[in-house]
Amino acid sequence: MSFELPLAALDSEELIDLRNTVRSAATESGYPTAVLELEKSETGLDPELWSLLAQDIGLCAVGLPESAGGLGGLAEILAVAEELGATLAPVPFISSTVLCGQILASCGESAAPYLERIATGEIASPAVTNARGLWSATDISCTSDGNTVSGSVRFTPFGASATFFVVAARTRSGIDVFVVEASNANVNSLRSLDFSRPSATVVFEGAPAVRLSTGGTGEAGISHAVDVTLMAVAADQLGGSQACFDMTLDYIKVRRQFNREIGSFQAIKHRMTDALMLVEMLRSGIEKVTSGGAQDLSADAAINKSWGSDSYISMTAEAIQLHGGIGFTWEHTAHLYFRRARYDAAFLGDAAYQRERLATLLNW
């Protein structure tokens, strides 16, 4: 079974246009500041923005097979994820289009109806992780008799907004992929540190399910989809890190102390230089993959996710510190990026987990 994902479909100018379109749509909808309004939201989703991005612009089909109306490949996925990360857009692109979409794409013709649903803007939520929110073929939360699924999955992203769930379940022959309609699942929303990244606990009690893979072939497809998703999360981290760096740089150019802009102080210059190195190292890692230099997607995904997790957390902490008192206030956006950084770091395994995974992949 092949999981080949095209590297890119757009040329450099078209990719820039795509980036600009995504960023404009999110910023004109009020983000990142509008994330504050989601604090008491039950779903954490901006349905109007998702409709604009998914249906009008077509982001819900990025990276999907052409047979499902898909467009582009890995470069387009990462470009979109970076711009959404820069604006903290509360939309399920990474979880629905990327993770669920790539899992379904690995299942062949049986998954075609569900890919088409994603491509039209329906939200799918991945239920493929264990109790710690990690993908591990030796430790998953659900089982199946071939026709039904039972088990519970915590930290399912955008679970309260999903119309169906893409489930990894253990069968007699191994791990396979199933689809369960949301109407057949019990969904309990969880309070999230990041208002724009909601999650839920989903419980399946003998839920009717459609089996999309057989013979334990689902494991390889899910593993590949997780690698693509880790790269998308790293791109989200890059977008957020760059946004934090830019707004901090703008601030230190105008904030004055002792009759001087604080950006002229040598200590501040050193800290900003270190911060820029964090951002640019992450950018280099992602560009290596999109330029065709990647030899092992799993290893590159682990490297970029681990570096991105540490870099984003450090960059957001630096942004808060260098903004001084205003950076700690509820009205400032710096803490919203800090929250996203913490969420991204934990999603599908933090930096320490990814480094351990990398060591295993490289037989260290």
Predicted pLDDT at 35: 95
- 123 and 162 Cβ atoms separated by less than 8 Å: yes
Q: What is the mean pLDDT of residues 107-113?
A: 94
Burial of 80: CB neighbours in 10 Å, binned 0-12, 13-18, 19+: buried
Predicted pLDDT at 252: 84
CATH code of the domain in which 258 resides: 1.20.140.10
Q: Which domain does 316 fall in, by range?
A: 220-361
Predicted pLDDT at 323: 82
CA–CA gap between residue 337 and residue 321 (Å, rounded) = 13
- 124 and 164 Cβ atoms separated by less than 8 Å: yes
113 within a domain of the structure (yes/no): no
Q: What is the pLDDT of residues 219-274, one digit of tens each?
A: 999 999 999 999 999 999 999 999 999 999 998 887 777 778 877 778 888 988 99
DSSP calls for 217-278:
THHHHHHHHHHHHHHHHHHHHHHHHHHHHHHHHHHHHH-EETTEEGGGSHHHHHHHHHHHHH
The label of the residue with tokens 């659900």 reads 142
Q: What is the pLDDT of residues 6-48, one digit of tens each?
A: 777 788 899 999 999 999 999 999 999 999 999 888 889 999 9
SS (H, E, C) 337-359: HHHHHHHHHHCCCCHHHHHHHHH
97 within a domain of the structure (yes/no): no
pLDDT above 70 for 2: no
Predicted pLDDT at 68: 85
Nearest to 237 by CA among 161, 123, 313, 325: 313
Compute CA distances 141 → 94, 160, 203, 207, 307, whole Å. 21, 19, 10, 14, 28
- 197 and 342 Cβ atoms separated by less than 8 Å: no
pLDDT above 60 for 1: no
Average the pLDDT over each of 84-88, 147-151, 329-333, 358-362 and give the range with the smallest value: 329-333
pLDDT above 90 for 4: no
Predicted pLDDT at 9: 78
Q: In the structure, what pLDDT confidence band is assigned to residue 293 with cuts at 50, 70 and 90?
A: low
CA–CA gap between residue 275 and residue 279 (Å, rounded) = 7
Question: Torsion over CA of 345, 347, 350 and 354, rounded to 10 degrees?
Answer: -120
pTM (two decimals) = 0.95
57 within a domain of the structure (yes/no): no
205 within a domain of the structure (yes/no): no
Predicted pLDDT at 294: 65
Q: What is the mean pLDDT of residues 209-223?
A: 96
CA–CA gap between residue 287 and residue 280 (Å, rounded) = 10
Predicted pLDDT at 327: 75
Output the CA torsion sign for 143, 144, 145, 150: positive
Which H/E stretch holds residue 204? strand 199-208
Predicted pLDDT at 67: 87
The label of the residue with tokens 């955008």 reads 158
- 283 and 239 Cβ atoms separated by less than 8 Å: no
Q: Which amino acid is at 323?
A: H
25's tokens: 């749509």
Q: Do the bridges between strand 210-211 and strand 174-181 make them parallel or antiparallel, or are there none, so unpaired?
A: antiparallel
Compute CA distances 213 → 8, 110, 137, 231, 268, whole Å. 27, 8, 15, 25, 55
Predicted pLDDT at 333: 92
328 within a domain of the structure (yes/no): yes
- 158 and 343 Cβ atoms separated by less than 8 Å: no
DSSP calls for 269-334:
HHHHHHHHHHHHHHHHHHHHHHTT--S-HHHHHHHHHHHHHHHHHHHHHHHHHHTGGGGGSTTSTH
CA–CA gap between residue 345 and residue 193 (Å, rounded) = 12
- By residue count, the chain amounts to 364
115 within a domain of the structure (yes/no): no
279 within a domain of the structure (yes/no): yes
Q: How high does pLDDT run on average in the chain?
A: 93
- CA angle 37/40/46 to nearest 5° reads 55
Q: What is the pLDDT of residues 119-170, one digit of tens each?
A: 999 999 999 999 899 999 899 999 999 999 999 999 999 999 999 999 999 9
| Own/partner long-range contacts of 45-48 (Cβ < 8 Å, ≥24 apart) | 45/90, 45/91, 45/92, 45/123, 45/158, 45/161, 45/198, 46/89, 46/90, 46/91
245 within a domain of the structure (yes/no): yes
Predicted pLDDT at 110: 94
Q: What is the mean pLDDT of residues 314-333?
A: 86
CA–CA gap between residue 315 and residue 337 (Å, rounded) = 9
Number of domains in the chain: 1
CA–CA gap between residue 182 and residue 173 (Å, rounded) = 26
